[in-house]
């Protein structure tokens, strides 16, 4: 299934981690179609450079950026506040940014960093922007997850910050699993009020996620030759994200997990509705304990 080549003039899209990789490819495509495209990025200098490049590439002057550090809930709160103040509504939110770290690190709010930057920051951002999203009767939330969610058997409920037994791959898998469970619960809670939520495995991408030594030196040595042989380009990885952001054909399937342009089979842990509900409640507590007040759902 191909993404609709529709004109998106008058639509507003927010893409996290949009200065490079899949996020940049998604932003470029949606900006080319005329959407007001907002790049939510951690590094302001890189974001400004990406904005300039995309304006020149697409001819769309309605491309801009906002600062967002997903590992810092206060930054998420500021970003959401700036978006709410500056735009009337959001049609598409692409929760794309992410990564992994080889050693356990905690954020300023005491959350394990991989969990925070891939999942909890996006949970908080989405919750803070829900009222703006619900102004569109068919708003889209696209969560870029991964088949890496199969690296873990479930959410470590008794140790969500990995105080014991941290490993880069299991922590990454937990964060990606959380994204899929969040997608299911978001669709369950808000599908009837117009929110369409999807999670997607974009494939193995030869972007700067793998180019940097994020998983440790040994992993980098293993990954480099594989990237050259089997990886998709960011543009290829972006195709299903764009499909989910634009096509009406996907609207009949809410809360699903996607790969290669079609719904896909996630792990048993990722399809447990009780875990999805429990994760939502845990995430709400973690965000509020971090000092960020969430609006009533």
pLDDT at 100: 85
Would residue 2 count as lying in a domain?
no
Are 223 and 210 in contact by the 8 Å Cβ rule? The answer is yes
pLDDT band for position 221 (cuts 50, 70, 90): low
pLDDT single digits (tens) 110-144: 999 999 999 999 999 999 999 999 988 899 999 99
The separation between the first and the last C-alpha atoms of the chain, rounded to the nearest angstrom, is: 33
Does position 243 have pLDDT exceeding 80, yes or no? yes
Q: Which CATH number belongs to the domain containing residue 175 in this structure? A: 3.40.50.720
CA–CA gap between residue 155 and residue 68 (Å, rounded) = 26
Would residue 4 count as lying in a domain?
no
Q: What is the mean pLDDT of residues 261-283?
A: 98
pLDDT at 99: 87
Among the listed residues 119, 123, 172, 257, the single catalytic one is 172
Would residue 231 count as lying in a domain?
yes
Q: What is the mean pLDDT of residues 207-221?
A: 52
pLDDT single digits (tens) 9-20: 999 999 999 999
Q: Which domain holds residue 133?
A: 12-289
CA angle 24, 182, 284 (to 5 degrees): 110
Burial 212-225 (b: 16+ CB within 10 A, else e): eebbbeebbeebee
Tokens of 9: 């003039």
The count of domains in the chain is 1
DSSP assignment of 8-27 equals -TT-EEEEETTTSHHHHHHH
Would residue 285 count as lying in a domain?
yes
Tokens of 125: 């951002």
**Mean of the per-residue pLDDT values for the chain?**
92
Confirm whether 162 is a catalytic residue: no
Would residue 6 count as lying in a domain?
no
pLDDT at 135: 87
Would residue 84 count as lying in a domain?
yes
Would residue 237 count as lying in a domain?
yes
Cβ neighbours of 291 (radius 10 Å): 11
Give how far the C-alpha of residue 173 lies from the chain's centroid of Cα atoms, to the nearest Å: 14
CA–CA gap between residue 72 and residue 70 (Å, rounded) = 5
**Helical ranges in the chain per DSSP H:** 21-32, 44-58, 73-86, 113-115, 121-133, 168-190, 208-211, 217-230, 234-246, 273-289
Task: Report how far apart, in Å, the C-alpha atoms of 165 and of each of 102, 103, 147, 152, 288 are.
Answer: 13, 11, 22, 13, 26
CA–CA gap between residue 159 and residue 221 (Å, rounded) = 31
Does position 27 have pLDDT exceeding 50, yes or no? yes
Tokens of 197: 């939520």
Would residue 72 count as lying in a domain?
yes
The model's pTM: 0.93
pLDDT at 212: 46
């Amino acid at each position: 299934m191909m993404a609709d080549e529709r004109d998106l003039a008058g639509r507003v899209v927010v893409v996290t981690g949009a200065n490079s990789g899949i996020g940049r490819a998604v932003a470029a495509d949606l900006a080319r179609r005329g959407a007001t495209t907002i790049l939510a990025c951690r590094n302001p200098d890189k974001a400004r450079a990406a904005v300039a490049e995309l304006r020149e590439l697409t001819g769309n002057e309605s491309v801009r950026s906002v600062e967002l550090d997903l590992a810092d809930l206060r930054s998420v709160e500021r970003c959401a506040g700036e978006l709410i103040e500056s735009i009337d509504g959001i049609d598409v939110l692409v929760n794309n940014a992410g990564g992994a770290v080889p050693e356990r690190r905690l954020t300023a709010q005491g959350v394990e960093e991989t969990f925070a930057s891939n999942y909890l920051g996006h949970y908080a951002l989405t919750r803070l922007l829900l009222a703006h999203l619900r102004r569109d009767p068919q708003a889209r939330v696209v969560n870029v997850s991964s088949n890496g969610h199969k690296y873990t058997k479930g959410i470590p409920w008794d140790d969500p910050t990995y105080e014991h037994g941290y490993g880069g791959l299991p922590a990454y898998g937990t964060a990606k699993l959380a994204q899929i469970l969040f997608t299911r619960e978001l669709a369950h809670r808000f599908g009837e009020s117009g929110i369409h939520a999807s999670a997607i495995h974009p494939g193995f991408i030869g972007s700067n996620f793998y180019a940097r030594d994020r998983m440790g030196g040994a992993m980098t040595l293993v990954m480099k030759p594989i990237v050259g042989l089997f990886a998709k380009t960011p543009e290829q990885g972006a195709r299903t994200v764009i499909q989910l952001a634009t096509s009406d054909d996907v609207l009949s399937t809410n809360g699903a997990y996607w790969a290669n342009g079609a719904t896909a089979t996630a792990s048993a842990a990722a399809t447990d509705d009780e875990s999805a509900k429990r994760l939502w409640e845990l995430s709400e507590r973690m965000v509020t304990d971090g000092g960020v007040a969430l609006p009533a759902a």
